[in-house]
C-alpha cells in the first residue's frame, strides 16, 4: 500500500499469449512439471480456507511477514501463483504508507485485523492488493508485487483481458501489482477479504516451499518518500519479478 505512484500505473503492455504452463520456484530452482501439476490439483480441490495460512502467520511486523510470504501461493478458484515479490509498509511511522496520516475511510482496512486484504485504486486505472499484518491498529501491510503462475494460467490470462489488459507472455501475466490484481480478479469488492477464512475465495497457502534463505532486498518501487528504506523483498533470479532483481 502506497500513495498513487507509477509502480501500479506502469503495468500495461501489448501482444498476446498462448502459454498455459505451470511454474514452480523454490529459491530460484524450478520443480518438475509433474510435481507442480499434482500439487496444484490437490490445492484447488479443497475448500479455500482448508489450506490457508492461520491468523498467527500474519501477526508479526510487516518486515517479517513480507519475507515469510515469499514462495507462498496466492490462490483463487483454479488460479494459483507463487509469490515472488513483495514490499513492506509500516503504518504511521512510514512516510510512504497510506496510513502515514492516520485512519481514513480509504485505509480503514489497514487498521483492522491481520490476515485481511487491503485493496485500493490508483491513477484511476488499477487496483493494488496488500496483506494486512501486525497488531490491530498499527496499519502494517505487505504489497503483493508479483507472482509466478503455478496453475490456471489460461484463467489468469482471460481475467486480464476481461479487465482490459493485453497479455504478451506467461511471464507477464501477474508480474507487477496491477497485473496481479487483474489476473486474480481482485478489485474494490475484495477490500477487507479475509485470507484466513477465504470468505471471498482468496487465500494464501503454504505448500511446503520455504522462503529463500537470502531473498533479494532493495528500496521500494515508484514512491517519492522513504526511497532508501530497504523494504522490497523478492526471489532472486525469478523472471516474474517486476522490478530489478
> Which cell is 119 given?
485493496
**What secondary structure letter does DSSP report for 215?**
-
> Rounded to an integer, what distance in angstroms lies between the CA atom of residue 141 and that of residue 97?
9
Domain boundaries, the chain: 6-234
Determine whether 107 is exposed, middle or buried from the number of CB atoms within 10 Å of its CB (0-12, 13-18, 19+): buried
Which comes out higher in pLDDT, residue 47 or 117?
Answer: 117
pLDDT at 46: 55
The number of beta carbons lying within 10 Å of the beta carbon of residue 206 is 17
Q: Is the pLDDT of residue 70 over 60?
A: yes
Contact 79, 184 (CB under 8 A): yes
Q: Is the pLDDT of residue 64 over 80?
A: yes
Task: Tell me the CA distances in angstroms from 128 to 28, 60, 119, 143, 190, one per residue in order.
Answer: 25, 22, 6, 8, 11
pLDDT at 49: 59
Mean pLDDT value of segment 82-95: 89
CATH class of the domain comprising 6-234 = alpha beta
Question: Residue 88: CB partners within 8 Å, gap ≥ 6?
Answer: 62, 63, 65, 66, 140, 141, 142, 143, 231, 232, 233
Task: Note the pTM of the prediction, 2 decimals.
Answer: 0.82
Which comes out higher in pLDDT, residue 67 or 31?
Answer: 67
pLDDT digit string (tens) for 137-179? 888 999 999 999 999 999 999 999 999 998 989 999 999 999 9
Determine whether 245 is exposed, middle or buried from the number of CB atoms within 10 Å of its CB (0-12, 13-18, 19+): middle
> Rounded to an integer, what distance in angstroms lies between the CA atom of residue 62 and that of residue 90?
6
Q: CA angle 99-102-104, nearest 5°?
A: 85
pLDDT at 47: 53
Amino acid at each position: 500500500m502506497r500513495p498513487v505512484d507509477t509502480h501500479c500505473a506502469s503495468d500495461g503492455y501489448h501482444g498476446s499469449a498462448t502459454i498455459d504452463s505451470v511454474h514452480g520456484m523454490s529459491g530460484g530452482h524450478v520443480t518438475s512439471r509433474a510435481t507442480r501439476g499434482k500439487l496444484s490439483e490437490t490445492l484447488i480441490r479443497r475448500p479455500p480456507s482448508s489450506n490457508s495460512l492461520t491468523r498467527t502467520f500474519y501477526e508479526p511486523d510487516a518486515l517479517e511477514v513480507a519475507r515469510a510470504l515469499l514462495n507462498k501461493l496466492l490462490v483463487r478458484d483454479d488460479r494459483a501463483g507463487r509469490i515472488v515479490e513483495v514490499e513492506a509498509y509500516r503504518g504511521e511511522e512510514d512516510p510512504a504508507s497510506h496510513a502515514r496520516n492516520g485512519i481514513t475511510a480509504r485505509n480503514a482496512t489497514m487498521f483492522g485485523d491481520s490476515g485481511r486484504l487491503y485493496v485500493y485504486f490508483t491513477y484511476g486505472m488499477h487496483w493494488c492488493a496488500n496483506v494486512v499484518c501486525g497488531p490491530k491498529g498499527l496499519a502494517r501491510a505487505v504489497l503483493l508485487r508479483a507472482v509466478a503462475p503455478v496453475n490456471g494460467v489460461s484463467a489468469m490470462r482471460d481475467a486480464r483481458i476481461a479487465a482490459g489488459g493485453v497479455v504478451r507472455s506467461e511471464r507477464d501475466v501477474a508480474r507487477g501489482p496491477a497485473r496481479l490484481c487483474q489476473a486474480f480478479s481482485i478489485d474494490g469488492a475484495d477490500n477487507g477479504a479475509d485470507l484466513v477464512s477465504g470468505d471471498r475465495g482468496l487465500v494464501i497457502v503454504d505448500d511446503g516451499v520455504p522462503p529463500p534463505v537470502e531473498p533479494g532486498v532493495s528500496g521500494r518501487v515508484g514512491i517519492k518518500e522513504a526511497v532508501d528504506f530497504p523494504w522490497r523483498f523478492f526471489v532472486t533470479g525469478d523472471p516474474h519479478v517486476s522490478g530489478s532483481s
